[in-house]
Structure 1
Amino acid sequence: MTSSIYLVLDMMNDLVHADGPNGKAAYGEQVRGRKVIENTRRAIDKARAAGVPVGFVRVGFSPDYRECPPNSPIFSGARKNGIFKLGTWGTETHPDLGQKDTDFDIVKHRVSPFYATSLEAILRANGVKRIYCSGISTNAVVQATVREGHDRDYEIVVIEDGCCGMSAEEHDNAVGGLKRFCKLTTSNDVAFE
């Protein structure tokens, strides 16, 4: 059994698909410009070849948004814009990433994939000691994963070219702040163990 997992963070249609609400906005531009979908798929294929399990983390809410925090600056637009509704196309993982039924599917209602989710139980049950991760946005879910994973004593490896923010500057600033808490690599260089 491997002691690693690759977490693909918030790579959902609402955020990264060209036909999604953010596809024609800042995120879409960064996703395409940085080739985030292609780089993430390369990393997923390498993880599978190495026998490392893959987990897809998705943010989502019930159709009535009962779990959505009403005063959250980051989630206040979800209810208003009708996005991040579980059970809809928007909260499905981008189809080009090839999610399988055997992959872990972790649904969250906040920025952190650790908060009130099944993630910790999955990591413990599978003896995970190292978390590889990538996704969007770098300064939200990736940063939360790195910091919280670090403080839970996991070794964290960020696949940097599978990440982006709403701008190159936002991404670069986030990566700069993460360097002390994780290892950085790329989809070409990552060696899944």
Structure 2
Amino acid sequence: MKNAALLVMDVQHGIVSRVPDADYLPRLTRALDAARTAGVPVMHVVIGFRSGHPETTDRNKAFGALPPGAFTAEDPGAAIHPDVEPRPEEVVITKRRVSAFAGSDLELVLRARGIDHLILTGIATSGVVLSTLRQAADLDYRLTVLADGCVDPDPEVHRVLTEKVFPRQADVVTVDEWASALA
């Protein structure tokens, strides 16, 4: 896939621990293996804050309610899950809000590498995947969502997003369909 990158978003210990789908990480690992074999760059996007959370405010319902120290360098829950551990050549982007673009240098890294097609995966479908998809579409990126490479705490929300909302702005396929197309 020319000018494409696989984004693996918010697959961190403190977030993966809330995923009830035991098959999620093995599916995501298949996507990573397919991308790496095909030479598609893999980028990891994580939520991260400085000590004391100076980037957050109590006006933000999601991030203002985080316990002190959550998703900081000292928090073991902020680490990328070992099943999808980045290789040394893979970029790790730290974001400060829900979208992978918000408070990060993602767009700069993508432009520098000539990437114009994003393949989206991550936790949660209704969070980072939705927010990143919307912003990326507004920035004119070509988009593919790996439907089963995303997961959400609410299966019905995941279904509606992947079957009805995302197809308006992205190609939506399974990990196996995408991996087969790369082979």
Q: Partners of 2:24 and 2:71 in 1: how far apart?
A: 20
Within-5 A mapping of 1:1-193: 2-16=2-16, 23=17, 27-29=18-20, 31-32=21-22, 35-79=23-67, 82-175=69-162, 176-190=164-178, 191-192=181-182
Under a length normalisation based on structure 1, what TM-score does the superposition of the two structures give?
0.87
CA-based RMSD of the aligned residues comes to 1.7
Unaligned residue ranges in structure 1 (runs of 5+)? 17-22
Under a length normalisation based on structure 2, what TM-score does the superposition of the two structures give?
0.91
Q: Partners of 2:136 and 2:171 in 1: how far apart?
A: 12
**Structure 1 runs of 4+ off > 4 angstroms?**
none
* Number of positions where the alignment pairs a residue of Structure 1 with one of Structure 2: 180
Q: Partners of 1:28 and 1:7 in 2: how far apart?
A: 18
Secondary structure (helix, strand or coil) at the match of 1:86 reads: coil
How far is the alpha carbon of 1:76 from its aligned partner? 2.8
Secondary structure (helix, strand or coil) at the match of 2:57 reads: coil
Q: Partners of 1:173 and 1:103 in 2: how far apart?
A: 32
Q: Partners of 2:126 and 2:93 in 1: how far apart?
A: 20
Q: Partners of 2:33 and 2:149 in 1: how far apart?
A: 13
Unaligned residue ranges in structure 2 (runs of 5+)? none
Q: Is the Cα–Cα contact under 8 Å of residues 116 and 141 in structure 2 kept in the other structure?
A: yes
Q: Is the Cα–Cα contact under 8 Å of residues 19 and 151 in structure 2 kept in the other structure?
A: no
Secondary structure (helix, strand or coil) at the match of 2:65 reads: helix
How far is the alpha carbon of 1:118 from its aligned partner? 0.9
Secondary structure (helix, strand or coil) at the match of 2:151 reads: coil
Q: If each structure's strand is expressed as a fraction of its own residues, which one has the higher value?
A: 2
How far is the alpha carbon of 1:87 from its aligned partner? 4.1
Instruction: Give the residue type in structure 2 aligned to 1:167.
Output: D
Instruction: Give the residue type in structure 1 aligned to 2:141.
Output: Y
Secondary structure (helix, strand or coil) at the match of 1:107 reads: strand
Q: Please give the per-residue CA displacement for 1:141-167, whole angstroms capped at 9, x wherever unaligned.
A: 101111111111111001111111112
